[in-house]
Structure 1
Amino acid sequence: MSFRENLIKARSHIIFLVALACGLLIVIGLENLMPEKQDVAQVDASAETIPAVSPMTAFDEVTPLPLAVVGESSDEDLAYAQIAWRYFENNTHPETGLVNSADQYPSTTMWETGSYFVAVIAADLLDIISEDEAKARISLALDTLTAMRLFDDILPNKAYNVETGELVDYTNKPVERGLGWSALDIARLVGTLDQITLHYPDLAPQVSAILAHWDLSQMVEDGQLIGGNMADGKLRRDQEGRVGYGQYGAKAMMLMGFDMYRAYDAEAHLMVKVVMGQPIPVDDRLHRNVTPAFTVSEPYVFDGLEFGFDARSHRFATAIYKAQEARYRETGVWTAVSESHLDEAPYFVYSSVWGGGAPWAVMTFRGERLDSKRTVTVKTAFAWYALFGTDYAKELVAELAPLGDPERGWPEGLYEADGSTNGSVTTNTNAVVLAALAFRAHGPLIRAAQ
């Protein structure tokens, strides 16, 4: 066969090789024209935003802090736990089994009811109460949750009167139809219901009765959490959950078999802000469609204490903690920030690591800045102490320990501005203290052995 014939037969292979060579030359040329990619590990710590091909690469260099489970409770731990449990002794209503959201304020949400269940399980693990008392308390509350009237016969209302079980608004005044439902609040409660069935299997039928009463499918759509909100007398369905809270709520709903692929995906709406040299995960959407979203400690410490971190949340939590410690080391100002109640108007704020467009911003529900009410929070201090056990976390707890009131429980903490006590005493703070102390002895509550 002639050379020409061989060349004709091999023409397809030759064309492929020529095309491959041309493609390689084009790629090399484009790489030479493009600016060098910035190594995330080399990013200037003074920059506000980390540029990266994927925001998650900003956390590649974050080494998760080791967990500080010690396997036992010290006498000091148990004394702290007794103070926290006193709050629940003082604030449980005997007829409904529900607990005041704040000391002597007879209203609650599903989030705070979930916190109460966490507190009971933790108190049992710490032998502060007996297993029989724990089951009796939870059983009574479960009966109430099964019997209480729902918003539009769909899901629990956003708030209830703990004495009567009536639907109420946020001022604890009765409302006939209700306010709608909070998907995040309900998801948090659902996560604690799963913990109940693991710790107390004989209460599983009561949990099943609640889940049969509620239509959880109404708060899940296309892998997202969907809240129900009243607007001009009509029900509006809104996506709920931002980075941190969204993944925490998604984990709870996945325990019940729901596909939460979009809610669990932190990267889809993730931007990274540098605070005190640490990459801080921030959602790129507005909070309540009003103000730039914020990052607080709350969902991350709940995730660690209750479920146990996954690889992503462990890195996020480490960076969020380290930024707070670094602020203290640089300024000498005690720092343990999260959402917190106040003992005066407006009564609730989000003290952020980054939020509203700036580091360390304190935001109201409406997105107003209120930095004067930044609180060194008791619950955050105990949570970091339990999770990571660092010297700074130990120092924080020691600084706040004198605030514990054996007759009332733990208050929110200290106002940073003047060192005075934020005297609001709440379900959430005292539940986190108990959960943190139980974690020190047993690890994550959902895996803790009886």
Structure 2
Amino acid sequence: MSFRTNLVRARGHIVFLVALVLGLCLVLWLERLGQMPVADTTADEQQIQIAPNAEWEQDLMATFENVDPLPLDIRGLSSVKDLDDAKIAWKYFQNNTDPVTGLVNSANNYPSTTMWETGSYLIAVLAAERLGLIDASEAESRIGKVLDSLKKIRLFDDMLPNKAYNTRTLELVDYTNKPSAKGLGWSALDIARIIASFGLVERNHPDLAPKVEDVMDGWKLSEMVKDGELWGANVREGKTVENQEGRVGYEQYAAKAMMLFGYDMYRAYEVRDNLMIKEVDGEPIPVDSRMHRGVTPAFVVSEPYLFDGLEFGFDARSQRFATAVYKAQEARYERTGQLTAVTESHLNVAPYFAYATVWGGGAPWAVLSFAGDRMDSKRTLATKAAYAWNALFGTDYTRKLVAGVASTADPEKGFAEGIYETDGTLNTSITANTNSVVLSSLAFKLDGPLMRAVK
């Protein structure tokens, strides 16, 4: 049989092999194309996109081995100014606690709350007790009243707390504080936030543990923990639609909270599967590779790292992540002369809430609405971020931050959210979250994380 005849008979195999080689070449070319760095043109949006080449794919976490974690600044004492500031922050809760339900308004004189802000209130009570602003009996009374109300609230679909409640009536409400027959759904992150506060309550007041457990027994927490991840629920056209919640930073904080009570949060606590790195002002910033609301790349703010350090105490990974996020803000100050302490904040103008990011929406230092719209004119030097970074790391720069937000203190109302960067005017919104963080920051300087028992 001739060579030519054999070649003709083998033509099918040859075609397959050629197609296979060409297909492999195409895949490699497309992968290389997808790794091209993206450059932005504005000075404040210069960034380096670190492509997922073979070296990074081996272990993105290796990047942070080169980040020297800043030492914690637990001082074991409170200055006169610390105590004066603590009294101002506690004034917010004295003014905004409902005498009947025991719940606290999310914003000054606005009778609505979420599980996130209710958790913030419980943490504020524990911090105020440590600072000597209230005694143990008042702390237990305040916490007990909150737990009694949480036992009474109507749950969304008889499963989990609704996204918002009226602090006076305990009714399910929408985000305008109007009664809602069905409710809005549940936020897994918000619920994890109050679960974190429950863990801290049990640690600091074990006598309240039965009340805490009684509340939790009425909540079907397994509905929001699935395959090691957090799942929330929204109402769309009258139907309940569930979705995975949490991005790098927030997700790990929430995972720690749920693990306190025995829930499997392995996938939420792990970061490698959803991690990418963006270089911002010379620092490697941990960014989630998943989209936010399917609209814009996920954002990085200070908040979850502040909570982790102040409440639980950092682990080795979160301390390195927090150090990088903090140092990028310090580096921006050194580059621009603009004091920078960014996180999520309420606003005193529409849309009344924004995420001032280290990186978000595809660019560094973007300020975003919840829907992902840019609104950089509302970047706020955040009071809570200034106090918390100073408590955690106590650097020359963090002391400048605290001095920079001095004008936000109102002895009759509490601390305002911060100062708008563009014109130096006050962001006059006054909230439970900001005043809670100020208190937990000052308590951290005295005794360290709230999870640590006080001797």
Q: TM-score, with normalisation over the residues of structure 1? A: 0.89
Q: Determine whether 1:86 maps to 2:91.
A: yes
Aligned residue identity for 1:85: W
Contact 1:50 1:58 in 2 (8 A): no
1:21-32 paired onto structure 2 within 5 Å: none
**Paired position in structure 2 for 1:232:** 237
**Paired position in structure 1 for 2:24:** none
After TM superposition, give the deviation of residue 130 of structure 1 in Å: 1.1
**Paired position in structure 2 for 1:258:** 263
**Paired position in structure 1 for 2:307:** 302
Aligned residue identity for 2:446: A
1:133-172 paired onto structure 2 within 5 Å: 133-172=138-177
Cα offsets for 1:45-96 (capped at 9, x unmatched): 9633365232212211000000000011111100010000000000000110
1:213 counterpart (215, 218, 223): 218
1:262-301 paired onto structure 2 within 5 Å: 262-301=267-306
Q: Determine whether 1:447 maps to 2:452.
A: yes
**Paired position in structure 2 for 1:359:** 364
**Paired position in structure 2 for 1:184:** 189
**Paired position in structure 2 for 1:49:** 50
**Paired position in structure 2 for 1:386:** 391
**Paired position in structure 1 for 2:10:** none
Name the CA distance, whole Å, in 2 between partners of 1:134 and 1:86.
Answer: 15
Aligned residue identity for 1:320: V
Query: In structure 2, the residue corresponding to 1:89 is in which secondary structure?
Result: helix
Name the CA distance, whole Å, in 2 between partners of 1:421 and 1:248.
Answer: 30
After TM superposition, give the deviation of residue 402 of structure 1 in Å: 2.8
Query: In structure 1, the residue corresponding to 2:48 is in which secondary structure?
Result: coil
Cα offsets for 1:150-197 (capped at 9, x unmatched): 001100000000000000000000001111100000011001101111
Contact 1:50 1:274 in 2 (8 A): no
Aligned residue identity for 1:116: Y
Contact 1:119 1:434 in 2 (8 A): yes
1:189-208 paired onto structure 2 within 5 Å: 189-208=194-213
Name the CA distance, whole Å, in 2 between partners of 1:50 and 1:336.
Answer: 28
Give aligned pairs, total: 407
Contact 1:340 1:349 in 2 (8 A): yes
Cα offsets for 1:395-426 (capped at 9, x unmatched): 11012123210000000010000000000000
Aligned residue identity for 1:204: A
Runs of 4+ in 1 over 3 A off after TM superposition: none
- The unaligned stretches of length 5 or more in structure 2 are 1-45
Alpha-carbon RMSD across the aligned residues, in angstroms, is 1.2
Aligned residue identity for 1:261: Y
Change (3 A) 1:326 1:105: same
Query: In structure 2, the residue corresponding to 1:410 is in which secondary structure?
Result: strand
Aligned residue identity for 1:361: A
Query: In structure 2, the residue corresponding to 1:281 is in which secondary structure?
Result: strand
**Paired position in structure 2 for 1:173:** 178
Contact 1:295 1:352 in 2 (8 A): yes
Contact 2:153 2:171 in 1 (8 A): yes
Query: In structure 2, the residue corresponding to 1:128 is in which secondary structure?
Result: coil
Cα offsets for 1:292-333 (capped at 9, x unmatched): 100000000000000000111000000000000000011100
Identical pairs, percent = 62
Query: In structure 2, the residue corresponding to 1:446 is in which secondary structure?
Result: coil
Q: Determine whether 1:316 maps to 2:321.
A: yes
- The unaligned stretches of length 5 or more in structure 1 are 1-44
Q: TM-score, with normalisation over the residues of structure 2? A: 0.88
1:422-433 paired onto structure 2 within 5 Å: 422-433=427-438
